[in-house]
Structure formats: C-alpha cells, structure tokens
Amino acid sequence: MTEEVKAMKTDESIFQRNIKRGVDAKILSFNDEQTRVTYHCRREYSTSFKNPEETIRAAYFTELVLDYAYAKERIDIEVTVPRRTPEDRADIVVYEDDECMSPFLVVECKKDGITDAEFRQAIEQAFGNANSLRSKYASTVAGNTKTAFDVAGFKPSERDKNVIADVPIKYGTAPKYKFIKGNPEKDLKIASREELIRALEKCHDTVWQGGKLAPTTSFDEVSKLLFCKLRDEKYKPNDAEYDFQIGTNETADEVYKRINAIYQKAKKEDEDVFREDVRLEPRIVYTVVEHLQELAINKIDLDTKGIAFERFMQDFFRGKMGQFFTPRPIVDFAVHMMNPAFDHKVIDPACGSGGFLLHTLDNLRNEAEANYDHPDAYRLWHEFAMRKLYGIEINDQIARVCKMNMIIHDDGHTNIISTDSLENFGYIQNIKQDFKAGEFDLLLTNPPFGATIKITEKDYLKNYELGKNKGRERPNQKTEILFIERCIQFVKPETGKIAIVLPDGILTNSSLQYVRDFVMDHTQILAVVSLPQTAFSHFGAGVKSSLVFLRRKGEDEELENYPIFMAIADYIGYDATGREIEKDDLPTVLEKYREFEEGM
C-alpha cells in the first residue's frame, strides 16, 4: 500500500501528518503529556500546545524546513517586532543569514476555521510585522487557507497585485502556480473529514456574506464552485497545473474567469446538474478558491468524503429543510434489511439529498472492494451507480443537492430528476423514459408526511385507488397514503421489495383501515420496525413512525396466513438532539430479522 493510500484511509489531518514529520525529523518534540511543544530552531523555544494556533504553527514550521528547504537554524519563533506595540511578536521568521539579522519571510499563524474578516485582520498583522522587520515576503496561514505576499516589491498598502502562489523554496523566486497534478511535492493534500467540513463551512460563510444571500442560494453557489473543484481534480492530466488555484500576481477577475470557464464547459456537458450561471462576484470566488485550493477532495476516501458532505448539508439545512434528510442509522439499517445486489434496479421516489441511494451504493461498493481486485471492483460499483440508481425529488434545489452528493460519491447523478413522484407515469417519463411502472427491484424511501393533495389542485388524484372511497373520488388525500400506492406501482410484481417510513397512524388508526387493507391486498408485509418518538425530532419532525418492509405480490398471487417480523427499536444510535449515543437496537433487530428469514 502506498503512503498516499495509507493517508487516504486515515482520518488524520494535514496538520497532524506534518507534525509527525517534524517529530521524526527531530525539529519538533513534545513532553510526555503532549501538552508542550519545543521548536528546535535558532533557539530551543518551548510553549503550550493547548492553543489551536500552535497546531498550525508547528505544522507550517515543519513544512518550511522539510518542504521549502529553510535551515532550522535560520528560523526563529515569537520574534519581537521593533516599532510595534511591545506585545507584538511575529509567529515565525525565516532569515537569509546565519546570524539571523536579515528577515526573508514573516509568517502569521491562526487557527483553522476563522472568519474571512479575521483572516484579513491576520494579513494586516503579517504586513505590519513584515514591514517593521524589513522582510521580503509575508505569509498568513489559517489552517489550510494560506495567502503569501511579495512585500518588498510593492508599496506598503498593496494587498492584491502582490499576492504570490506560494512562498519561495530556499530563497528562490515565487512560482507562477503552486499545485501541479501528479507531482509528489506539488500535488494537492488529502484532508481529514473534519478539515473538509471546516473548509466547506468557510466556503459557505464566504458566499453567504453574513446574510447578503439567502441561505439556500448561498448553498447553491458553494455547490457550483465545489463542482468546479471536483472536475478540475478529476480531468486535469498529470504534470499539468490545476486551474482551481490562485497564481502569482493574479487578480480576482483572472481567477474568476478561469473557474467560470470550468463551470461553463461542465454546464454544457451536463445540463442536469446546474442550469444557472455562477452568480458571485469575482472577489467571493477568489476567496472560496483560497479555502479549497490545497485540498485533494477527490482522493479522500468515499466514506470520509460522504460523511463530511452529509454533515455539512445537515448542519446547514437543519431547521430549514430537515424533511429532506433521513438520519444515517435509519438509512443504513433499511439498506441492510433490503440486502441490495449489483443487478438490482433501485429507486427512491422522495430522494431528498440522496441518503438511501448513496447508502445502497456504499453498501455495494464495500462488497465489491472486499471481493474483487481494484479494477473489477471499481467497474462493478461504478456501473451500478450509473445504471441502477434512480431518484425523484420534488424540490428542484434539493434535487441539485442530491446530484452534487452523488457526484462527490462518483456518482450516478444522471438518474436524478426533479418532479412530483405522484404525477401520472406518462408525465414522469416525458422527463426521463427510464422511470417506468413495475421496473424496479428495490424501493427505499421516507416520503413527505402531512401534506394534503386536493382534487381541485392535482387532477392525478382520481387515478389512485387510494384517492377513491368506494369507487367515488375523494376530494383530497394525504401524500403519505398516495405514496404507498405509487411505491407499490414502481416495483416489480412478485419480486419487488419496498422499505418505507410511515407514520404510525397509518398502522393503527381505525379510520385508515382501508389503507391497511390496500397494502395487504397488494403486498406481503415482511417486517414492521417501530422507531422511537425522537427518531426525527432533531430535524423538527416529531411524528411517531415505523419502518415498513413489503414485497409486491404477483398478479394473481394469493397468500395464506403468514408470519410478519415485528420489532421495537427503543434506541437507534442518537438522541433527540441528534447527538450520537452508544445504545442502538437496530443491529440486533437486523440480526433477528436474518434469523427470521432463515426460519421461513
């Protein structure tokens, strides 16, 4: 296994990996409790390691010595800055001479995740220190957001034209571009899950501009730029400079033009993902590029990347669009209960952000990687993603989020459409022909609860058996009830299986006996798993629900009395606030269901 692959399989941050390199090279050391760090540089400098900024400084100090070839004896830490207030000190100073009298580079270090305003303030600190020390270059480092400047070659107030792609290596000149694909020293870095989440959050805060854009609009714009980043990583040939980066002396307009060219090309090739242009000022795009340019997002393993993007989405949409997210433990359990195979055609007619589809894909990807050599495994799960996964989402923006989520998982987004799943099949097939009745092997879904479809608003209501009462048209019907009938229609007669989240009222209310009769007439009930009241409460939905598993009966199939697996899950791995807990009944329920299946 290569070192790169090893890194991809860990959740170590870029900073942690650099600090380990520094310890191995004996330029950093720690006390036994790991609470103090010592820099072995011009002088032995020890300080507390409890401040998050110290992690950034220790990691960047290691880079300066090991990657930029600056002698540790020519680097000093916490340098007093003349002509500044007494408490002002430069975090790192690199000198040109052995006597450490001629500063070459001044570095200001900040913790990861600071705001853009705080980063700009840190840049001013770096410039103040660099000008006072008469340094040629300055660099501001806040986690993986780094900006370097040519200080000596420009007037003191310049902050744009003097940006450089990277600090020089060993007193040389600044490179035109920093990142080159396939170059071991200059390629992008694989981030941890937390680093990726922080980078996405920084991008969102940059685009949102403190409320200048609507939250949903800003999420769309971040997705567009992330889409460009992923395409640049994927399609750039080896030894070529990446487009998604900031070059020496480049203006915001120049960077915007290059990023927009990626987007416009992609938009022409794949109109289903984004139909609108990038609607951000060049300066905003420039800042997002600063946040993301160093990270190799495509190389992060899919589990880490998927969880990071899922967490970012959930944190952002929580309380705004919570109904579009089914919690991971419930999704994972439902997928394992359904036991998908590579030849199964799978659909979610209320797919939201794509949780059921992506967990199905992850399940089969893990199976492929465990049982096949890499090329065969990749081909197997990738073909499944492209040809077997289908989703419908009524909200156009969430449908785009789902497509973006699937692109990050590489991919299957071409079979996601935005329309009303309850529409007549002819209407749906006008959008994409593949969405046919009786075509799917598995259906997993958490349909919308509570909305009412009125015959005066939706003519299709009259075409549903559950839209009638003893042959007469009902004036209205609940969406979750109509979804039951539509789900049964989607799967194959005799073999098609359904996993659906339903409110307990459908299972218990006497007034809904006709719905239960319909279900029993058309399906075999395989299992009912009761979920706790709190299952969806952290998304703002408190309806008591159950997971119901069904098999569509054949055309003339009649069933005698048969056993149904019933279970109650009191704990499902998280509490009412969404916080993870150890108690989780779902693995035990799955185990018992497998035993039940074997005994049938």
Report the distance separating Cα 112 and Cα 461, nearest Å.
53
Nearest to residue 389, comparing CAs of 436, 348, 446, 424?
348
The reported pLDDT for the residue numbered 324 is 59
* Least confident piece of the model among 16-30, 133-147, 317-331, 533-547: 317-331
Backbone φ and ψ for 536, nearest 5 degrees, come out as -120, 10
The reported pLDDT for the residue numbered 271 is 72
The reported pLDDT for the residue numbered 114 is 93
According to DSSP, the β-strands at 75-80 and 44-48 are unpaired
The reported pLDDT for the residue numbered 213 is 85
Chain center to CA of 19: 26
The structure tokens listed for 479 are 């969406």
Which pLDDT tens digit goes with each residue over 232-267?
998 999 999 999 999 999 999 999 999 999 999 988
- pLDDT level of residue 411 (50, 70, 90 thresholds): low
The reported pLDDT for the residue numbered 294 is 96
The arithmetic mean of pLDDT across residues 178-190, rounded, is 94
| Residue 420: strand, helix, or coil | coil
Nearest to residue 201, comparing CAs of 88, 99, 112?
112
For the chain, helix, strand, coil in percent to 5 are 45, 20, 35
Is pTM beyond 0.85? Reply is no
The reported pLDDT for the residue numbered 399 is 86
Which pLDDT tens digit goes with each residue over 192-210?
888 988 898 899 889 988 8
Share of the chain above pLDDT 90, in %: 71
CA angle, corner 98, sides to 162 and 38, nearest 5?
85
The reported pLDDT for the residue numbered 403 is 85
The reported pLDDT for the residue numbered 9 is 45
pLDDT over threshold 70, residue 319: no
pLDDT over threshold 50, residue 6: no
pLDDT over threshold 80, residue 531: yes
pLDDT over threshold 60, residue 315: yes
Which pLDDT tens digit goes with each residue over 298-310?
888 777 777 777 7
pLDDT over threshold 80, residue 540: no
* Least confident piece of the model among 65-69, 214-218, 352-356, 587-591: 214-218
Question: Which residue type does 329 have?
Answer: P
* Least confident piece of the model among 116-120, 404-408, 569-573: 404-408
Report the distance separating Cα 132 and Cα 100, nearest Å.
15
- pLDDT level of residue 3 (50, 70, 90 thresholds): very low
pLDDT over threshold 60, residue 342: yes
Nearest to residue 82, comparing CAs of 118, 132, 119, 117?
132
The reported pLDDT for the residue numbered 84 is 61
Chain center to CA of 157: 38
| Dihedral of alpha carbons 83, 89, 93, 96, sign | positive
Share of the chain above pLDDT 70, in %: 94
Report the distance separating Cα 120 and Cα 323, nearest Å.
37
Architecture of the domain spanning 302-599: 3-Layer(aba) Sandwich (3.40)
The arithmetic mean of pLDDT across residues 69-94, rounded, is 90
Chain mean pLDDT for the chain: 90
Report the distance separating Cα 538 and Cα 520, nearest Å.
33
Q: Where are the alpha helices (DSSP H) in 9-141?
A: 14-24, 52-66, 116-133
Which pLDDT tens digit goes with each residue over 125-146?
999 999 999 999 999 999 999 9
CB 227 within 8 A of CB 263: yes
Which pLDDT tens digit goes with each residue over 360-400?
998 999 999 999 998 899 899 989 998 999 999 998 888 88
The residue count for the chain = 600
The structure tokens listed for 94 are 């690199």
Which pLDDT tens digit goes with each residue over 270-302?
776 777 899 999 999 999 999 999 999 888 877
- CATH for 10-164 is 3.90.1570
| Dihedral of alpha carbons 381, 382, 388, 389, sign | positive
According to DSSP, the β-strands at 36-40 and 28-30 are antiparallel
